[in-house]
Structure 1
Amino acid sequence: MMRSMYSGVTGLRTHQNKMDVIGNNIANVNTVAFKRGTMTFQEVFSQTMRGASGPQGGRGGTNPQQIGLGVTVGAINTIHTKGHMQGTDNPTDLMIDGEGFFVVSDDANYENRYYTRAGNFQLDRDGTLVTADGYKVLGYRLDEDGNPTAEVGDVRISKSETKAPTATERITLRGNLDSR
């Protein structure tokens, strides 16, 4: 195949990959916690027809003669920026503000751990916080004083267990003063 045709075909194929990434972004616009993808292009190796030369006898050097052999996918990256906060009527819907993931598991010993940013959780019949697929949301256990321990377990919210309300003891307020 002629090099010019090959270069054109690689451009079309790579452009199709870019369109696939854009299509996937559009198809998942309403998917909870979806992170969009971006694609970068990369030049395929160039064929050198004539090498560069250095300056000689008062004349400057010459650049190499290279023919590009097309384009390819450089990378398809997932953008992990925070999405928009969306209010719901479900009190167990959670959102991570910043970096990080929820850790979930599908087995009783919590050996299979998966990471998600989707916070659309619900309580199962035992009061365990679970994903829509039934994966248990994991968290650190607390000691008697309410301090986290190194032990990981599922998050349970008992509907019968209550804690008496207490008055606010301390508040921190930060802000900027207008210079006008």
Structure 2
Amino acid sequence: MLRSMFSAISGLKAHQTKLDVAGNNIANVNTVGFKGSQTVFEDTLSQIIRNGSAPQGQTAGSNPAQVGLGVKVAGISTNWTQGSAQSTGRSSDFMITGDGFFITKSGNENLYTRAGSFDTDGVGNLVTPDGLILQGWMATLDGTIDPQGPLVPLRIPQGQVLAPVATSGAQIQGNLSAGATAAVAGPPPSPVPR
């Protein structure tokens, strides 16, 4: 009786943890950058009631009789697979493809996140909804980035206008089907009187 009660209670406790994890996944379904989790279980302890035996002569061997004494949570694993890209309609929202994190700064502390929902503060810094400043490497005017340089707050200068540059050339590439016919440009068709 004691073994069956222990197994049942441990199963209920482990299942409660699984429900907690599932509830957390559901609660964060609209959280930007959230990665879902799953519960992994393992056997707590097993008791051998009868040992197995090897085959002898004309008799076959027997398997051991083993009773599990409950379950426990082995771990809660996070699903780090790539999420799907979604258009938010905001030019300051970003997504990381593959591995990596955004680096944000709070005082002197660097913090890491995969949530790419950013806004600009009063001076143009890209910030998280709770005010952490996005860090990175600023591009120079010619577009080069030095990834060995120090991290700095990423800033979008507000009101700055760059001088326009005329397009100096364009290139179009393509391939036509061998069975395609050439269209000859001619005058537009005459309107049909009504």
Pair in the same fold by TM > 0.5: yes
Could you tell me which amino acid in structure 2 is paired with residue 58 of structure 1?
Q
Identical-residue share of aligned pairs (%):
43
Normalized against structure 2, the TM-score is what?
0.76
Structure 1 residues 142 and 43: alpha-carbon distance in aligned structure 2, compared to 1, 3 A threshold: same
**Matched residue of 1:148: which SS?**
coil
Secondary structure in structure 1 of the residue aligned to 2:104? strand
- Aligned ranges 1:1-180 → 2 under 5 Å: 2-107=2-107, 112-142=109-139, 145-149=142-146, 150-151=148-149, 152-166=151-165, 167=167
Q: Distance in 1 between matches of 2:142 and 2:94?
A: 25
For 1:124 and 1:163, the matched residues in 2 are separated by 21
State the 1:24 CA deviation: 0.8
Residue 35 of structure 1 and its aligned partner are, at CA, apart by 1.3
Where structure 1 has 5 or more consecutive residues not aligned to the other structure, the ranges are none
Q: Which has a greater percent of strand?
A: 1
Distance 2:12 2:91 in 1: 48
Larger Rg: 2
The one-letter amino acid paired with 1:162 is V
Question: For structure 2, which runs of at least 5 residues remain unmatched after alignment?
Answer: 178-194
Counterpart residue number, 2:187: none
Match of 2:180 in 1: none
User: Structure 1 runs of 4+ off > 6 angstroms?
Assistant: 168-174
Alpha-carbon distance, 1:88 to partner: 3.0
Q: Under a length normalisation based on structure 1, what TM-score does the superposition of the two structures give?
A: 0.81
